[in-house]
Amino acid sequence: MKTFQITRWAAAATLLLAAMLSGCGRQESRVDIGNREQILHLGNKAEPAEIDPHIVEGTGEHNIIMAMLEGLTTEDPKTLEPVPGVAERWEISDDGLRYTFFLRENARWSNGDRVTAQDFANSYRRILTPSLASKYAYMLYPIRNAKPFNDGAISDFAEVGVKAPEPGRLEITLEHPTSYFLNMTANHYTYWPVHLPTIEKHGDPYLRGNNWTRPGNFVGNGPFVLKEWKVNDVLKVVKSDTYWDRDSVRLQEINFYPIESLDTEERAFRSGQLHITYEVPLSKIPEYREKQPELLRIDDYLGTYLYRINTTRPHFKDPRVRNALSLAVDRVAIVERITRGGQKPAYAMTPDNTRGYTSVTRTEHNPEKARRLLADAGFPEGRDFPKIQILFNTSEAHKSIAEAIQQMWKKELGIDAELVNQEWKVYLESEHKLDYETSRGGWIGDYPDPYTFLSTFASWSENNRTGWVNPAFDELLARSEATVDPDQRYQLLQQAEAILIHDAPIIPIYQYTRVFLKHPAVKNWHPTFLDHHPYKYVYLEAETEVAAR
């Protein structure tokens, strides 16, 4: 543990030293050099847990992987609508069940091998293989027999709806028409290919712990290739010589910095060490709004900030208790006094107006009702209720919100809570093992559809992490997926969300916005509802000195 702490502090000290030096004279900053040499410097929150697309779970990891891998489709930089990627074109059957993708002959892996249809079939087999225990394997469940294979009910992958009849043609058959299927092939890393021969060189491809993602080992097919990975310091990718559309890529290098301290990150931006931050210290948002609004970005973001409740704990098994905790939270106070970044209070899991869907059933802020429910559950004024914990990963913002909720639960319900802070990797492990009581969480849409939010809490979802199971909820989700009529489908999802809110295994807090700092030299970094920014379109253009420095 001491070694980890020293490394982390060394990284922070390096940034601060660079900041001090850049302020002592006219020495070029990291950003100045980057603008001239097309080297983008990004703050990326926590140290990535992994960069294997079949294992990772977080948005920080997604930011890195999208530079090094490309799917059948990719994203339009402004709308995020699917556009040709490895597949130069595709055909969809009249019944919406069969997709045929025609792959580019010049699509290459970074080792020079051609990217083939079999590579995609091998990749989908890998993520669905039970021994890999991918938390996101369920993203492929729209594919025929993907779920039975992932569950181990069938063992022959030939029964799964993925076929590679020739190197340049991939056929995918779905269980039912899925309107957002092309979005998933573009938006989400679970649908992106891996180079199985490379993985096999470094261990069993169907088990975790494989070293294929280390520098010198990683083989990808995206616009950039992995150059360097210094843990808790920097991860560097450089422009690929083998990428099929390399002539369109203007950036020469991207550096991702894992900076958990928002204050350190903001100082690094101010001193010219970062082009873009991951977040902004909450206390600095009003100042940037007033004095340097051109540097502050507040973009719409399809996501919900929430608290999970471990429903397997005896004192949380009663939904009245869980609802009491939710009803005691003043969401308006949190977004107006703490986050202050244009967020909206969340009273349902799915963000409002997600492709025209807004949940009819909603929770509320009602302390009186909360106290009544808690008393009905046997804990009047919180008497005899055990002290609970609020788990959150390292972040000043998460801590501030946890402190506010801690006070609300004490004031309104008489419940004592203590704060528990863990590093990103440890926090994820605690949630997956249900080794927590209440936990800060967040969910960003994997594609623009309410199903991506609701299916997270299905019994079969590895991202549920609450212990909550409701067969009626699962059944409604299954029926919605088999329903072609969009109005009927939304009605089923409305019923499912009503069950989720009634049972309250989660507490929705607010609907996200992306609040960050951006240097004006960064071009083609468009506001997008998933905060995806295809790097092949991004470039740097030096401008006049920014007043922040």
The DSSP H or E segment spanning 511 is: strand 506-517
Q: Is residue 531 part of a domain?
A: yes
pLDDT band, residue 542 (cuts 50/70/90): confident
Q: 174 pairs with which residues across the strands? A: 143
pLDDT digits (tens, 9 = 90+) for 454-489: 999 999 999 999 999 999 999 999 999 989 899 999
In a shared domain, residues 327 and 269: no
- The domain total for the chain is 3
Query: Of the candidates 169, 200, 231, which is a domain's last residue?
Result: 200
Contact (Cβ atoms closer than 8 angstroms) between residue 124 and residue 140:
yes
CATH number at residue 151: 3.90.76.10
Structure tokens belonging to residue 167: 């190197």
- In the prediction, which pLDDT does 15 show? 53
Q: Is residue 232 part of a domain?
A: yes
pLDDT band, residue 26 (cuts 50/70/90): low
pLDDT digits (tens, 9 = 90+) for 319-377: 999 999 999 999 999 999 999 999 999 999 999 999 999 999 999 999 999 999 999 99
In this predicted structure, the answer to whether residue 51 has a pLDDT above a threshold of 50 is yes
239-264: b (≥16 Cβ within 10 Å) or e? bbebbbbeeebbbebbbbbbbbbbeb
Q: Is residue 206 part of a domain?
A: no
Side-chain-side CA neighbours of 353 within 13 Å: the count stands at: 4
443-474: b (≥16 Cβ within 10 Å) or e? bbbbbbbbbbbbbbbbeebebbbbbbebeebb
In this predicted structure, the answer to whether residue 214 has a pLDDT above a threshold of 90 is yes
CATH number at residue 396: 3.10.105.10
Residue in 402, 490, 498 with CA at minimum distance from that of residue 457: 498
C-alpha 503/C-alpha 21 separation (Å) is 55
C-alpha 30/C-alpha 272 separation (Å) is 6
Q: What is the pTM of this model?
A: 0.90
C-alpha 53/C-alpha 61 separation (Å) is 8
In this predicted structure, the answer to whether residue 422 has a pLDDT above a threshold of 50 is yes
Which range, of 8-22, 42-56, 289-303, averages the lowest pLDDT? 8-22
Angle at 304 between CA 283 and CA 485, to 5 degrees: 155
Q: Is residue 294 part of a domain?
A: no
Contact (Cβ atoms closer than 8 angstroms) between residue 453 and residue 349:
yes
C-alpha 433/C-alpha 235 separation (Å) is 29
Strand locations in 372-428 (E): 388-393, 417-422
pLDDT band, residue 544 (cuts 50/70/90): low
In a shared domain, residues 190 and 77: yes
In a shared domain, residues 307 and 453: yes
Q: Is residue 214 part of a domain?
A: no
Averaged pLDDT score across all residues of the chain: 94
C-alpha 498/C-alpha 501 separation (Å) is 5
- In the prediction, which pLDDT does 192 show? 98
In a shared domain, residues 109 and 251: no
When pLDDT is averaged across residues 216-242 and rounded to a whole number, the result is: 97
| Coil vs helix vs strand at 506 | strand
In a shared domain, residues 348 and 328: yes
| Coil vs helix vs strand at 489 | helix
Write the CB contacts of 527 (distance below 8 Å, at least 6 apart in sequence).
297, 299, 300, 514
- In the prediction, which pLDDT does 548 show? 42
In a shared domain, residues 24 and 173: no
Q: 421 pairs with which residues across the strands? A: 392
Q: Kindly state the percentage of the chain with pLDDT values over 90.
A: 92
Domain limits at 112?
A: 70-200
pLDDT digits (tens, 9 = 90+) for 124-177: 999 999 999 999 999 999 999 999 999 999 999 999 999 999 999 999 999 999
DSSP state of 335: I
Angle at 446 between CA 445 and CA 450, to 5 degrees: 50
Side-chain-side CA neighbours of 241 within 13 Å: the count stands at: 3
In a shared domain, residues 309 and 228: no
The DSSP H or E segment spanning 157 is: none
C-alpha 281/C-alpha 262 separation (Å) is 5
Contact (Cβ atoms closer than 8 angstroms) between residue 212 and residue 523:
no
Distances (CA, A) of 183 to 163, 187, 447: 20, 6, 6
In a shared domain, residues 39 and 82: no
| Coil vs helix vs strand at 275 | coil
In a shared domain, residues 320 and 440: yes
Residue in 269, 241, 268, 236 with CA at minimum distance from that of residue 253: 236
Q: Is residue 395 part of a domain?
A: yes
In a shared domain, residues 309 and 194: no
In this predicted structure, the answer to whether residue 405 has a pLDDT above a threshold of 60 is yes
Q: Is residue 415 part of a domain?
A: yes
C-alpha 271/C-alpha 277 separation (Å) is 12
Residue in 71, 91, 90 with CA at minimum distance from that of residue 80: 71
In a shared domain, residues 77 and 188: yes
Q: Is residue 291 part of a domain?
A: no
Write the CB contacts of 191 (distance below 8 Å, at least 6 apart in sequence).
71, 72, 124, 139, 140, 184, 185
In a shared domain, residues 178 and 99: yes
C-alpha 238/C-alpha 255 separation (Å) is 9
